[in-house]
């Protein structure tokens, strides 16, 4: 089992390597891929050194699986080349997500849609992943009509430059800016670029990706995505309106029994999910579970997950694990 990690030196690529190691993914050969300036350098995986290779070299080595986290343009150009070499590509960029011919996969929700013919598989947006893991079991039971979500997203979702901006601002140091404004002691209601309808691309991703992953275009979704000066993970306030009424105890029971979810909901003892708790964890954490008293058949939830792990690297590795388990590679 030969596995290439494309973008191995980036923020998500580094976490992909860590997750592969932690989960003891059964690879026999690791092929780290990065930009030309990194070729020849080495990365350490399970105590061994592996040289970083170029894209062309990696393709010639015909890996079984390639985990991509190197940006949309790189994916559009090179994922088809890996596919032609017989490699199954799991891509973390937005390049393929809304392509009707490409599966958009969250294993707990729709891995069953995969077949041996799916040679390019899209990993969804981080904020969508953690939300649909929670929505799916509730939709199966009560049928969701509408979702209103506001996100509180970590600077790690932007990348290394954003983390450096936050840390520099905390120290009073001038440096490169990832954002148009200060992020420390501030909140930016602006993630990705604005579109003609006044929503950002990040907000529209959550709308369109949710419908595609859940295989239900009737679910109406509206989103406001916000960048906040935290590390560790993304948080979401989610309001769900159902077709059918629900019992709160049953909702908790359903979530507690659902794969990939940890319920932390004990307000009497001030227990609720926070980004610090989700940091370096693979699960999605849910709390503040309560009825929306302003609307019938509506529920409020607070959802937190590590955006670099379940929101990116872990979800991609879980897809690869499923492919192996079902002998689809």
Residue 288 marked as a ligand binder: no
For residue 210, say whether it is annotated as part of any ligand binding site.
Answer: no
Please tell me whether 222 is known to bind a ligand: no
| Cα distance between residue 242 and residue 20, in whole Å | 38
11 is in an annotated binding site: yes
Closest CA to 148 of 274, 297, 301, 291: 301
Catalytic residue among 78, 139, 234, 279: 234
- Cα(294)–Cα(109) distance, rounded to whole angstroms? 29
Q: Is 234 a catalytic residue?
A: yes
Please name the residues in contact with 125: beta carbons below 8 A apart, sequence gap of 6 or more.
94, 97, 202, 205, 206, 209, 311
Q: Is 97 annotated as a binding residue?
A: yes
Distance between CA atoms of residues 182 and 259, nearest Å: 38
The answer on whether 12 is annotated among ligand-binding residues is yes
Q: Which of 78, 126, 139, 279 is catalytic?
A: 126
Q: Is 78 a catalytic residue?
A: no
C-alpha to C-alpha distance for 316 and 8, rounded to whole angstroms: 14
What is the C-alpha separation between 50 and 52, in angstroms, rounded?
7
E strands, the chain, are: 2-6, 29-33, 42-45, 48-51, 65-68, 88-91, 103-104, 120-122, 144-153, 220-227, 234-242, 261-263, 284-291, 298-305
| 165 marked as binding residue | no
Distance between CA atoms of residues 35 and 30, nearest Å = 17
Over its C-alpha atoms, the chain yields an Rg (Å, rounded) of 20
Q: Please indicate if the annotation marks 227 as binding a ligand.
A: yes
CA contacts within 13 A on the Cβ side of 262: 16
Phi/psi at 225 (5° precision): -105, 135
Q: Residues annotated in the binding site, as ranges?
A: 9-12, 37-38, 97, 153, 227, 307
Q: Residues annotated in the binding site for substrate, as ranges?
A: 153, 227
Catalytic residues: 126, 234
Q: Residues annotated in the binding site for NADP(+), as ranges?
A: 9-12, 37-38, 307
Q: Residues annotated in the binding site for phosphate, as ranges?
A: 97
């Amino acid at each position: 089992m030969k596995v290439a990690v494309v973008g191995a030196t980036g923020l998500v690529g580094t976490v992909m390597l860590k997750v592969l190691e932690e989960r003891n993914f059964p690879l026999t050969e690791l092929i780290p891929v990065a930009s030309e300036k990194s070729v020849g350098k080495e990365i350490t995986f399970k105590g061994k050194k592996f040289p970083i290779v170029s894209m062309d070299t990696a393709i010639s080595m015909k890996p079984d699986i390639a985990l991509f986290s190197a940006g949309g343009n790189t994916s559009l150009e090179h994922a088809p080349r890996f596919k032609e070499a017989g490699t199954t590509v799991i891509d973390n960029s937005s390049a393929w997500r809304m392509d009707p011919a490409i599966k958009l996969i969250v294993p707990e929700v729709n891995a069953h849609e995969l077949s041996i013919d799916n040679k390019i598989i899209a990993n969804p947006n981080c904020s969508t992943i953690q939300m649909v893991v929670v929505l799916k079991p509730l939709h199966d039971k009560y049928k969701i009509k509408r979702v209103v979500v506001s996100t509180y997203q970590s600077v790690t979702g932007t990348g290394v430059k954003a983390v450096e901006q936050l840390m520099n601002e905390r120290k009073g140091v001038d440096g490169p800016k990832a954002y148009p404004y200060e992020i420390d002691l501030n909140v930016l209601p602006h993630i990705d670029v604005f579109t003609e309808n006044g929503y950002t691309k990040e907000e529209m991703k959550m709308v369109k990706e949710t419908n595609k992953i859940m295989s239900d275009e009737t679910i109406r979704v509206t989103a406001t995505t916000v960048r906040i000066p935290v590390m560790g993970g993304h948080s979401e306030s989610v309001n769900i309106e159902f077709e059918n009424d629900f019992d709160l105890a049953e909702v908790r029971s359903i979530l507690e029994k659902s794969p990939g979810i940890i319920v932390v909901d004990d307000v009497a003892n001030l227990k609720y999910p926070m980004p610090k708790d989700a940091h370096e964890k693979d699960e999605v954490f849910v709390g503040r579970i309560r009825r929306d008293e302003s609307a019938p058949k509506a529920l409020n939830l607070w959802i937190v997950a590590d955006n670099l792990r379940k929101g990116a690297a872990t979800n991609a590795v879980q897809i690869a694990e499923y492919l192996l388990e079902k002998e689809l590679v």
